[in-house]
Structure 1
Amino acid sequence: MTKLVEPMLFVNSWRFLMIAVLIYLWIIGDFVHSSFILILLLLMMTSLRWRFPLPIWSNVIDVVICILFFPITDISYFGLALPIFELAMKGKWVFSLFLFMSLFTPSPSSSLIFWFFLQSLLFGIFSFISVKNQEMYRLEVDEQRRARYELERLKIDLLTATQSASHQAELMERYRISRELHDHLGHDLTGASLALQAYEYVKDPVEAYALLEEVKNRLQRSTKHLRDYVHDMTPITKFGGERLDTILQNFQQIETVYHKSGDMLNVPAYIWELLESCLKEALTNVARHSNATKVDIELQVTEAIVRLSIQDNGTINKNSQSGSGLRSLQMRSRSLGGSLSINREYGFLLVCVIPLEKGE
């Protein structure tokens, strides 16, 4: 982003330019020591304004200095251009006009002073507008920056809430399955076990046959319940590692080599969602912006982390910037306590590492 030129740079340049004009008038006129003292005093006030933000009432000092030197030197009339400019730049145009009216007092070179005061007044008004516009621009930039930071914070909070909701849903599903198994399958299997233990001590053939029938019925019900549970819990759509396999199978633009290791069942649902987004984003960038002929994908699952590595063999601009998609993935990775790194040294390399929560 190009840095804008500060309006105060032009303001200070104009201030010292006016001092230079006064020095020029002193040089071409009579070299009176009182004129030099006047210029020196105005130079001191100008230097103070250059270094410090003096209050607006300090312009009274410049006016008093010039009025005191009216009877002594004609340069004092031109010196009023400085307070006229300062007042106009502070937005006090009424006071600037009041000083502007002083040119109607008997003074030498009235026409020259008129244009001298006029350009000071106009340039002061222009400086006032420029400084105000810069302040408004800075306020707008700060507001946009705060809004962007707030949006990023809300995105992180949303990702954290999604992760927590996914974890809670997984725990509730585990609780529901354990309760169903206990209420139905557990009771039938316990009853069948007790019936078999009682069968060993029954002497009556009819009663023994009844116990075997009860065991048979309980096992049949248990088998049916177990089959129904498995059928209901089997996802209709592909999920997790199967989803990554499907994405790679549908990607026909470039040859892909996929290696995976570890227990995929240890990876929670919210991490699979991030890994899927990383794979899609990387393959899309390869297809659009790379001349690669091969992409190597490696997925490693350990007890502590999940690591997804995507590397192509294409040539890409090493100084190119990451797009909004990659920046969003990096933010999502950080929200999960992991990282997403990018390397363009040899082709395009994307590595996403996410820690696994223990004790789930």
Structure 2
Amino acid sequence: MEFWIILTKLVLMLYISILGAQSHHAHIAWMVFAMLLYFCINITFHIIRKTMIQTIVLVLSGSLIIMAYLSIYPIFIILLPLTLLEISAHFTNKRFLIFAVSFFPIIYLGKELQPLYGMVAILSFMVLSMIATYGERITKDEQQIDQLRKSLQKLTKDLNDHNEFIKQSEYTFKLEERNRISQEIHDNIGHTMTGALFQMEAAKRLMDTNQPKAMELLQNAINISKDGIESIRLTLKNLKPPTEQVGIHRIKLLMDEFSAKHLIKTALTYDGNLDIISPIQWKIIQENATEALTNAAKYSNATLISVDMKILNKIIRVEVRDNGSGAEKVKKGLGMIGMEERTAAVNGKVIVDSSNGFSVTTLIPISS
């Protein structure tokens, strides 16, 4: 803002210098002195930041202009409009009033100076108005940026707090789960095995004196041990998540990590009974999907990659499709060959289509 005001004053001073050099009535030495003094006063105005002192400096500048107009060279008066505009801007924000103040001295000038003064006054007002509008816009933008920065800092803090809460919740859940398993083993299996141990100790002591009783106690211990082993089996079965949950969760995790790393949107859909997919089939599906996603990120220029799983009557169909550029001819690299070999190991097949984007479909037969 200050740069444009200073530049406008320098242009006006240059114009006065040119006219003064061409005029035979101008006092060159006094003109140079007046311009240097005017320049120093205005530099002081832009250095000092106190409003009252700035106003005093502007008044001095205006007084110097009027004295130079009366005593040295009349054309100095064209510096007055910009100074009056600056003085008025310190007291009011009404632009019409500011312009009226700067334009008012025209009535006291001779007819030869009135057109030039009026044009300079109008141009100075336009420059100052544009500078003020631009300054207000910059101030508004800075306020918005500052507000956005504060919002971003708050969101970052909330996100960090949220992540800490998730980590703490996961850790607490693991501790609670470990405590639950420990308690269950202690209450059920521990008591059962302790009872079996007592029975066997008693049978050992009665083996020589009362063999029938010892055999009865030993059989009881065997029965109790069988119950304990069954309790262990049931406990482990309850702890182990179903295969289909582990499999589909791994696919979801794979796609989320891929999307975060490559900034490509992903979508997962599945339909049918996931229970019938065996662990080895899940392994092949995951490895093929990983390879297809990697190839899409490298070559397709895609913005969306979808994985669609369908469990039909006799076959598992998994399609990885992107919306990229596709290819006229598919060249099988090591990754594609590896996908075909893995799928063929379970009597499956891999189909590649590059006509609409690029898709890799894995077909795996369902074991009867």
TM-score bracket relative to the smaller structure: 0.5 to 0.7
Q: CA deviation at 1:174?
A: 0.9
What aligned pairs does 1:112-191 form with structure 2 within 5 A after superposition?
112-191=116-195
Deviates more, 1:193-202 or 1:101-110: 101-110
Aligned residues: 263
* Partner Cα distance (2:81, 2:157) in 1: 52
1:24 aligns with 2:32: no
The secondary structure found in structure 2 opposite 1:31 is: coil
State the partner residue of 1:68.
67
- The structure-2 alpha-carbon separation of the partners of 1:146 and 1:78, relative to structure 1 and needing over 3 Å to count, comes to same
Matched residues in 2 for 1:11 and 1:295: separation? 67
- 2:37 aligned with 1:46, yes or no? no
Query: Whose RCO is larger (CA < 8 A, sep 6+)?
Result: 1
> Given the superposition, is the C-alpha separation of residues 12 and 92 from structure 1 closer, same or farther in structure 2, using an over 3 Å criterion?
farther
Contact 1:19 1:42 in 2 (8 A): no
Q: d(CA) in 2 for partners of 1:67 and 1:31?
A: 15
| One-letter identity of the residue aligned with 2:202 | A
Give the Å deviation of 1:78: 1.4
**In the alignment, which of 280, 285, 288 is matched to residue 249 of structure 1?**
288
Which one of the candidate residues 239, 260, 267 is aligned to 1:233? 239
1:224 corresponding residue in structure 2: 230
Contact 2:200 2:221 in 1 (8 A): yes
List alignment gaps of at least 5 residues for structure 1: 1-6, 254-279, 297-360
Q: How many percent of aligned residue pairs carry the same amino acid? A: 15
Aligned-pair CA distance for 1:194: 1.5
Give the whole-Å Cα distance in 1 for the aligned partners of 2:69 and 2:26: 16
Give the structure 2 partner of residue 335 of structure 1.
Answer: none
- Structure 2 length as normaliser, TM-score? 0.61
Matched to 1:248, the amino acid is E
Q: AA paired with 1:12?
A: I
Which protein has the larger Cα radius of gyration, Structure 1 or Structure 2?
A: 2
Deviations 1:276-309 (A, max 9, x none): xxxx6x565235349994569xxxxxxxxxxxxx
Give SS of 2:241's match.
Answer: coil
Tell me if the contact between 1:78 and 1:113 (Cα under 8 Å) persists in the aligned partners.
yes
How big is the shift at 1:242?
Answer: 6.8
RMSD, aligned CA:
3.3
**AA aligned opposite 1:17:** V
Report the alpha carbon displacement of residue 181 of structure 1 after superposing the two structures with TM.
0.3
1:186, CA displacement in angstroms?
Answer: 0.6
In the TM superposition, 1:286-297 aligns within 5 A as 286=298, 288-289=300-301, 293=333
How has the CA–CA distance of structure 1 residues 149 and 37 changed in structure 2, closer, same or farther, with 3 Å as cutoff? same
* Residue 365 (structure 2) aligns with: none
* TM-score (structure 1 length as normaliser): 0.63
Alignment correspondent of 1:79: 79
Aligned-pair distance for 1:232? 0.8
How much has 1:133 moved relative to structure 2? 0.8
Q: Deviations over 1:113-166 (max 9, x none)?
A: 111111111211111101111121222223323333433343333333222222
Q: Is the 8 A contact 2:58 2:87 kept in 1?
A: yes
8 Å Cα contact 2:82/2:102 also seen in 1: no
- Residues 106/13 of structure 1: CA separation in 2 closer, same or farther (3 Å cut): closer
CA spacing shift, 1:125–1:223, aligned 2, 3 Å: same
Corresponding position: 1:194 with 2:233: no
Question: Cα distance 1:295–1:233, how it changes in 2: closer, same or farther (>3 A)?
Answer: same
Distance 2:231 2:239 in 1: 12
Separation (CA, whole Å) in 2 of partners of 1:249 and 1:285: 14
Which structure 2 segments of 5+ residues have no match? 255-282, 303-326, 337-368
Structure-2 separation of matches of 1:155 and 1:89: 46
Change beyond 3 A, Cα 1:177–1:208 = same
Q: Where in structure 2 are the equivalents of 1:342-357 lying within 5 Å?
A: none
Residue 220 of structure 2 aligns to which amino acid in structure 1? E
